[in-house]
C-alpha cells in the first residue's frame, strides 16, 4: 500500500539537502486526511531540527491537484457515529481540526524556507498548507478557491485571517461565492509569490539541487528567491478579480451583511460569466455559512494568526456538529442530489444572533482551549 505522504531528502552541491513532502492520494486529488496531517507534522518537525536540511518543498502527486481539501467523508462518518450529537463528543473531528490547524500554523512559523508547488487544484485544506509557505508557486493549471459555502462550512485553516487582509471587499466576495482564481489573480492578490509553467518542475528541482545552500535562513531565502525570480514567466494577463477589483470592493465591503448578500444575488444574469457563476454558487450555498464567513472575517480584523486559528477551531466544531455540514456533504458527495435543506433556510434567518452561539466553546468549562498552546487567546468574542 502506497504511503499517503512520500518524504524524500535530495542532495545538493553544498552538502545540504532539499526535503520534499509529496501528498500522495492522486485519485482523491490529494485530499488531506488526519493520517496525512500527523505524518506531515512529525516529519516537518524532524526536518526543522535537522541541520542538514536547507529547505522544505510541499507538492502533490498526479498533476491534477496540490490538495483539493480535507477528508470530508471521514468527517461525515464521524458525525454519524457521534451518538450524543454534542460537538465535543466527536473525538475524530476535534482531533482532526486540532492537528490540521497546528500543522498549518507550524508552516506559517517554520524556521526554514518552505516552498509550495501549488499546481492544479488548491482548495480548503490545500489552501491551509499553501498560505503559510514562504515561497508559493502557481502554474497555468492552478485553481485556487475556498468553496466551503457549498458544504455548510466556512473558509477555515486560517482563511479568515487571510481573506480579511485582502483589499476591501475582495476577501468577503471569495468567502461568499467560492470563486476560483487562476495564477494571474493569485499573483495579483498576493496569494502566490511566483509563477512557473507546470512543466517546469524538473527544471526547478534541478536548480534547487544545483545551488549552494547555507546554515543561514536569510541567505537561503535570498537564494531561493533568486532561483524563482530567474525562472519566472510574467506574461500572465489579467484575471477576473483584477478586472473587477473596483466593482467588487464597492459591492462587497462594509458592515451590512444583507446588502452584500443582495448585491451578489443580483448578479445571477450578469453578462460576465465569472460574476454570474459567483452569484449562482452563493444563492445555492448555505445561508448559515455565509453569515459565519462574514462574522469570522469581521472578528479576525486585528487578531493574531494564532487567535484566528483558535477562533476558527471553536466555530468549526460547532459547525460540524450543529451546523449545515452534514446536509451539505450529503447533498454534494453522499446522495449527490444537489438539493441541500439548509438550516437556517435563508439569509434573513441567518442572523447575527444565530451566529453568536456558534462561537461558544463546546469543550468542558474546566478545560483550556484545545489550541491554547499556540499563543495566548485574545478576546475574539468581543469583536463579534
Q: Is the pLDDT of residue 141 over 80?
A: yes
Q: How many C-alpha atoms does 157 have within 13 Å on its Cβ side? A: 28
Quick one: average pLDDT of 342-347?
96
pLDDT surpassing 90 at residue 178: yes
pLDDT band of residue 381 (cuts 50, 70, 90) is: very low
Work out the average pLDDT over 265-276.
Answer: 97
Mean pLDDT computed over every residue of the chain: 94
Residues 92-121: pLDDT tens digits?
999 999 999 999 999 999 999 999 999 999
Percent of the chain with pLDDT over 90: 92
> What pLDDT does residue 229 have?
86
pLDDT of residue 1: 54
pLDDT at residue 137 greater than cutoff 50: yes
Nearest 5°: phi and psi at 142? -60, 130
pLDDT tens per residue across span 207-251: 999 999 999 999 999 999 999 986 655 557 899 999 999 999 999
Rounded CA Rg of the chain: 20
Long-range contacts of 88-91 (CB under 8 A, 24+ apart): 88/317, 88/362, 88/363, 88/364, 90/317, 90/320, 90/321
Question: Residue 26: its pLDDT value, please?
Answer: 96
pLDDT at 384 over 90: no
pLDDT at 234: 55
Contacts 24+ apart (CB under 8 A), 162-165: 162/127, 162/131, 162/191, 163/297, 164/297, 164/298, 164/300, 164/301
- Give the DSSP letter string of 119-185: -SEEETHHHHHHHT-SEEEE-TT-EEE--GGGGT----TTHHHHHHTSSTTHHHHHHHH---B-HHH
Distance CA 117, CA 306 (A): 25
Higher pLDDT, 13 or 142: 142
Q: Summarize the confidence of residues 275-299 as an average pLDDT.
A: 98
Domain extents in the chain: 5-383
Domain 5-383: CATH superfamily, name plus number: 2-enoyl-CoA Hydratase; Chain A, domain 1 (3.90.226.10)
What is the predicted pLDDT for the residue at 127? 98
- How confident is residue 380, by pLDDT bands cut at 50, 70 and 90? very low
| Confidence check: pLDDT of 379 > 60 | no
Measured between alpha carbons, how far is 192 from 185 in angstroms, rounded to an integer? 9
Please check whether residue 57 is in contact with residue 21, taking contact to mean a CB–CB distance below 8 angstroms. Answer: yes
- For residue 274, give Cα distances in angstroms to 141, 160, 179, 284, 298: 17, 23, 8, 16, 25
pLDDT for the residue 235: 59
Average pLDDT over residues 325-343: 95
pLDDT surpassing 50 at residue 382: no
Q: What is the pLDDT of residue 262?
A: 98
Q: What is the pLDDT of residue 140?
A: 95
Instruction: Name the band, by pLDDT with cuts 50, 70 and 90, for residue 13.
Output: confident
The per-residue pLDDT for 322 is 84
Q: Counting beta carbons within 10 angstroms of the beta carbon of residue 70, is it exposed (0 to 12), middle (13 to 18) or buried (19 or more)?
A: buried
Strands 114-118 and 53-60: parallel
| Confidence label for 376 from pLDDT (cuts 50, 70 and 90) | very low
Q: Write the pLDDT tens digit of every residue in 41-93.
A: 999 999 999 999 999 999 999 999 999 999 999 999 999 999 998 999 999 99
Runs of H (alpha helix) within the chain: 34-49, 72-80, 91-108, 125-131, 159-164, 170-177, 183-188, 201-210, 217-231, 240-243, 245-252, 257-265, 273-284, 287-300, 305-322, 325-329, 352-356
Predicted confidence (pLDDT) at residue 21 exceeds the cutoff of 90: yes
Amino acid at each position: 500500500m502506497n504511503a499517503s505522504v512520500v518524504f524524500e531528502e535530495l542532495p545538493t552541491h553544498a552538502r545540504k539537502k532539499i526535503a520534499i513532502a509529496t501528498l500522495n492520494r492522486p485519485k482523491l486529488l490529494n485530499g488531506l486526511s488526519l493520517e496525512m496531517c500527523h505524518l506531515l507534522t512529525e516529519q516537518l518537525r524532524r526536518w526543522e531540527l535537522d541541520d542538514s536540511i536547507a529547505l522544505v518543498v510541499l507538492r502533490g502527486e498526479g498533476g491534477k491537484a496540490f490538495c483539493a481539501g480535507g477528508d470530508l467523508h471521514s468527517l461525515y462518518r464521524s458525525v454519524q457515529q457521534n451518538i450524543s450529537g454534542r460537538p465535543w463528543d466527536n473525538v475524530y473531528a476535534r482531533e482532526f481540526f486540532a492537528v490540521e490547524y497546528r500543522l498549518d500554523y507550524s508552516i506559517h512559523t517554520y524556521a526554514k524556507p518552505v516552498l509550495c508547488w501549488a499546481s492544479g487544484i488548491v482548495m480548503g485544506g490545500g489552501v491551509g498548507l499553501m498560505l503559510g509557505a514562504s515561497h508559493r508557486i502557481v502554474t497555468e493549471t492552478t485553481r485556487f478557491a475556498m468553496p466551503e459555502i457549498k458544504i455548510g462550512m466556512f473558509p477555515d485553516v486560517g482563511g479568515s485571517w487571510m481573506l480579511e487582509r485582502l483589499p476591501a471587499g475582495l476577501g468577503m466576495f471569495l468567502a461568499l461565492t467560492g470563486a476560483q482564481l487562476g495564477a494571474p489573480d493569485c499573483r495579483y492578490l498576493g496569494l502566490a509569490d511566483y509563477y512557473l509553467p507546470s512543466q517546469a518542475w524538473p527544471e526547478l528541482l534541478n536548480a534547487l539541487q544545483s545551488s549552494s545552500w547555507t546554515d543561514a535562513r536569510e541567505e537561503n531565502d535570498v537564494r531561493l528567491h533568486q532561483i524563482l525570480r530567474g525562472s519566472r514567466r510574467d506574461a500572465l494577463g489579467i484575471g477576473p478579480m483584477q478586472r473587477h477589483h473596483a466593482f467588487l470592493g464597492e459591492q462587497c465591503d462594509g458592515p451590512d451583511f444583507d446588502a452584500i448578500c443582495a448585491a451578489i444575488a443580483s448578479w445571477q444574469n450578469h453578462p460576465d460569466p465569472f460574476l454570474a457563476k459567483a452569484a449562482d454558487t452563493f444563492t445555492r450555498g448555505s445561508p448559515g455559512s455565509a453569515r459565519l464567513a462574514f462574522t469570522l472575517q469581521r472578528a479576525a480584523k486585528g487578531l493574531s494568526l494564532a487567535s484566528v486559528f483558535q477562533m476558527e477551531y471553536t466555530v468549526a466544531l460547532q459547525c460540524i456538529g450543529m451546523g449545515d455540514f452534514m446536509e451539505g456533504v450529503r447533498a454534494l458527495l453522499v446522495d449527490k442530489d444537489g438539493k441541500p435543506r439548509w438550516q437556517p433556510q435563508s439569509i434573513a434567518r441567518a442572523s447575527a444572533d444565530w451566529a453568536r452561539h456558534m462561537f461558544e466553546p463546546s469543550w468542558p468549562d474546566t478545560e483550556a482551549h484545545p489550541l491554547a498552546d499556540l499563543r495566548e487567546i485574545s478576546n475574539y468574542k468581543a469583536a463579534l
